[in-house]
A and B are shown apart, each in its own frame.
Chain A
């Protein structure tokens, strides 16, 4: 279960807070050889996706210009990305967003503040190579 992934997976971390992005990337370092990309807004996230294929997205909700829910809806409506694992990070005390996120097709969600180990575990299970195990 804790063995590193064989192939280099690509994780896109979307959050408008650079500190939060660093925290997420650090929490996920334990995945082993994983490539991380970061995006500070919804639009930037979609641009990143079109330029390089990604295997998983960590998505914040409250962001400027394009809300996380809109990003999620867009991703789900697109043929290529409709099955992309998307982990939504909601902030504590924002339960409506959480239900909205699952209605819009979030693969899983986690509440901020999160435990580094829990996020790592959750993401590890969602990455394609680990699906079967």
Chain B
């Protein structure tokens, strides 16, 4: 127990730096969202004062906590922004594109400084002068265009009994915000000094018809009084119900759950062996217990995973900023559609995806979308559309970046690819090969890499990042119609469902997210064309890739009749059949990456333990595909 009076080696504020950065991040994310909304409102000529209040409060908080941790410059920067906002709120400063630009710049600077503080990097310079601003009066007609919805007065009297059941101001407020808008909230003193709270709520829901609104300490009645002025709506996020957890602690938790998964698999194995020595009734009960435990463990795993999930909305907001700036610089007009921003994804994945997504967005704006005049003459609307979409499908999440621009010129890319020897002379270009080619490092020439998309990561990095996260990147493009990039990822990386496969007596694990289909093949079905083997499958030719050859595994095949198993990865012309001797089963595993670069083997992504204390290697399916596809693309006439 140390007391703050005593001399401590670190300053008082320093022990809160983690909280400080986390809270600043939250405020800056909210600020971005609000500035975007404000930017749009300026365009429409109406300004919601509640947004200004929210902004003001965020900077006020940043100012306060920056001072506490001893970051004087950040404190002053936040203070200056606060001043600007105060001037806007009081009508001393007009809110227009310029002043919003100024605010956005200041926020970006603050964000950069905070990142630098966090990583202990050199700090970006602060500007010396106040954010510039012209003067005129702000129209006070900023009231929200009011639809006469139903208005109710709700009175809530808190009691300990209600609080114990989770019914309190915060839960109530959240419920009210779900159904409508809180217009007013005032505390009242009743007869014996009892305190109650009076809310005025505007909603589409007829609360009188819902019994819950007239029980549990609530008294609701319709409000017939026409409101003279509309008060600001309440903030959308009740932050006091949120607990912050260090990601390291969560990882630790996941590791522990992972170990339990492994121990349980081992136990199940032992129980199976005990079948020989136990009476069957007793054995069955025991076996059923292991099955129940498997289910519960899966629930526990899912629960822990869910804690790591964050909404993609925040990075979509960042993208909108990038688009806005680029559009302004290039004179393009762009409407950004954001779909599925509430989709959740592992925090670890989202951090790694940031740069690839930014690159795809920059590409779409600088190469995909045309200028208004060009669009008009192509018979399109002058505003280009950029869609950012996130969806989940069970175990996977898909992030899509689509534009309705000019699309990619297949022939031009094919020409360059042939010239560079990336594409065989007779091989036709399609969407899947196009992606391989444009993701080939060093393909884009200096002339093509302009300022926007040329900096930072390239397409090769985008593809490698996605694949390193065991995801897949696909592209579809149509001339004059637009392009669409899709990133499909597992919801989380720490644990995976795998197929266990055997090749020449060796056992490997294959992440199920990369496997489309599994089937058995008779050796007579295999045809050889040039150096490649193919099999007829679903009306097409599926190229075959033998794992035994890739890893140079000696020894005889396992099956006496020569039949073997194939799992299919990829779709369409990008599909590849990977041949193994036998698929042994499926299992849930904990993924451990092989960290030592000296033992990194092409085609191996990591290692796991199946519960029998033997290490099993996890196949790096994207790397296998790359290797197979490279052979195929260059194969006619070329030796491998």
A68 and B65 alpha carbons, distance in the complex (Å): 17
B193 interface residue (CB < 8 Å to A) = yes
Determine, out of B9-17, B483-491, B571-579, the stretch whose residues face the partner at the interface: B9-17
A64 and B189 alpha carbons, distance in the complex (Å): 21
Query: Chain A contacts of B1 at CB under 8 A?
Result: 29
- Complex partner residue of B12 from A40, A62, A116, CB under 8 angstroms: A116
- Complex partner residue of A17 from B5, B61, B173, B187, CB under 8 angstroms: B61
Query: Hey, what's the 0/1 contact readout for A62-77 against B, CB within 8 Å counting as 1?
Result: 1111100000001001
Query: Chain A contacts of B61 at CB under 8 A?
Result: 16-17, 20, 62
Is the CB–CB distance between B169 and A23 below 8 Å?
no
A44 and B193 alpha carbons, distance in the complex (Å): 17
Is the CB–CB distance between B187 and A43 below 8 Å?
yes
A117 and B5 alpha carbons, distance in the complex (Å): 5
Determine, out of B101-109, B233-241, B341-349, the stretch whose residues face the partner at the interface: B233-241
B163 interface residue (CB < 8 Å to A) = yes
Is the CB–CB distance between A65 and B68 below 8 Å?
no
Is the CB–CB distance between A19 and B65 below 8 Å?
yes
Query: Chain A contacts of B247 at CB under 8 A?
Result: none
Query: Hey, what's the 0/1 contact readout for A59-92 against B, CB within 8 Å counting as 1?
Result: 0101111100000001001111000000000011
CB-based nearest A residue for B195: A50
Is the CB–CB distance between B68 and A23 below 8 Å?
yes
Q: Are A47 and B239 also in contact (CB < 8 A) when A17-B64, A18-B244, A91-B64 are? A: no
Is the CB–CB distance between A43 and B197 below 8 Å?
yes
Is the CB–CB distance between B16 and A23 below 8 Å?
yes
Query: Chain A contacts of B158 at CB under 8 A?
Result: 47, 50-51
CB-based nearest B residue for A28: B4
Is the CB–CB distance between B65 and A43 below 8 Å?
no
Query: Chain A contacts of B193 at CB under 8 A?
Result: 78-80
Query: Chain B contacts of A78 at CB under 8 A?
Result: 189, 193, 195
CB-based nearest B residue for A31: B3
Is the CB–CB distance between A30 and B3 below 8 Å?
yes
B395 interface residue (CB < 8 Å to A) = no
Is the CB–CB distance between B13 and A113 below 8 Å?
yes
A51 and B165 alpha carbons, distance in the complex (Å): 13
Is the CB–CB distance between B185 and A18 below 8 Å?
no
For residues 89 through 119 of chain A, which have their beta carbon under 8 Å from a beta carbon of chain B? Answer: 91-93, 112-117
Query: Hey, what's the 0/1 contact readout for A28-39 against B, CB within 8 Å counting as 1?
Result: 011000000011
Query: Hey, what's the 0/1 contact readout for B1-29 against A, CB within 8 Å counting as 1?
Result: 10111000000110110011011000000
Expressed in whole angstroms, the minimum distance between the Cβ of B465 and any Cβ of chain A is: 32
Query: Chain B contacts of A112 at CB under 8 A?
Result: 64, 67-68
- Complex partner residue of B195 from A2, A26, A46, A116, CB under 8 angstroms: A46
A79 and B23 alpha carbons, distance in the complex (Å): 37
A17 and B195 alpha carbons, distance in the complex (Å): 25
Query: Chain A contacts of B16 at CB under 8 A?
Result: 19, 22-23, 26
CB-based nearest A residue for B70: A113
Query: Chain A contacts of B325 at CB under 8 A?
Result: none
- Complex partner residue of B63 from A22, A40, A65, A91, CB under 8 angstroms: A91
Is the CB–CB distance between A64 and B234 below 8 Å?
yes
A87 and B170 alpha carbons, distance in the complex (Å): 24
A22 and B70 alpha carbons, distance in the complex (Å): 16
Query: Chain A contacts of B173 at CB under 8 A?
Result: 43
Is the CB–CB distance between A51 and B163 below 8 Å?
yes
- Complex partner residue of B4 from A50, A63, A116, CB under 8 angstroms: A116
A20 and B193 alpha carbons, distance in the complex (Å): 31
Query: Chain B contacts of A63 at CB under 8 A?
Result: 57
Expressed in whole angstroms, the minimum distance between the Cβ of B413 and any Cβ of chain A is: 51
B194 interface residue (CB < 8 Å to A) = yes
Query: Hey, what's the 0/1 contact readout for B260-295 against A, CB within 8 Å counting as 1?
Result: 000000000000000000000000000000000000
A2 and B4 alpha carbons, distance in the complex (Å): 12
A49 interface residue (CB < 8 Å to B) = yes
Expressed in whole angstroms, the minimum distance between the Cβ of B9 and any Cβ of chain A is: 15
Given contacts A18-B244, A47-B163, A64-B234, 19 further A-B contacts (CB under 8 A): A17-B61, A18-B19, A19-B19, A19-B65, A20-B65, A20-B68, A40-B238, A47-B168, A47-B169, A49-B195, A50-B158, A62-B56, A62-B57, A91-B64, A113-B64, A113-B67, A114-B68, A115-B12, A117-B5
Name the 9 nearest CB pairs between A and B, nearest first.
A40-B240, A113-B67, A116-B4, A30-B3, A19-B19, A50-B195, A116-B12, A47-B169, A113-B68
15 contacts between A and B (CB under 8 A): A18-B239, A23-B16, A29-B1, A30-B5, A39-B240, A40-B170, A44-B240, A47-B197, A49-B195, A50-B194, A63-B57, A65-B235, A66-B187, A79-B193, A92-B75
